[in-house]
Amino acid sequence: MRGKMDKLKKLMSKCKCGVYISVNEHRDYYETVEQRLGDNNLLNDCYSETPKDVLKKMIETNTMVQLQFYPDTPIGFYTIYHYDLNMALDEALGALDEGGNDG
């Protein structure tokens, strides 16, 4: 758990604006991951940015982590979908490192 908290703190320190985490929101509506993605037109976004093996695992495990963060402005953001919070945090930090955000 400590590793996840350290990663979350690092992500928060690199973002000038908000960081939002949603886990299994689809279950609040009695939906599967696949249904939720289809209902919200998120599937197209996921297909373009999320590896197919990750999408497959999200559907298999019925687990959806959505991590949205705003590194520079309140209108420019990244959204990462995953089945594992730790891996989603790694991807977020990697995206910021690739984007040149030094925090």
Task: Name the helix (H) or strand (E) containing 62.
Answer: none
The CA distance from 19 to 8, in Å, is 9
The CA distance from 50 to 58, in Å, is 11
Burial string for 23-36 (b: 16+ CB within 10 Å, else e) reads eeebeeeebebeeb
Give me the percent of the chain exceeding a pLDDT of 70.
83
Looking at residue 88, its pLDDT comes to: 97
Please state the pTM of the whole predicted model.
Answer: 0.84
Segments making up each domain of the chain, as ranges: 2-98
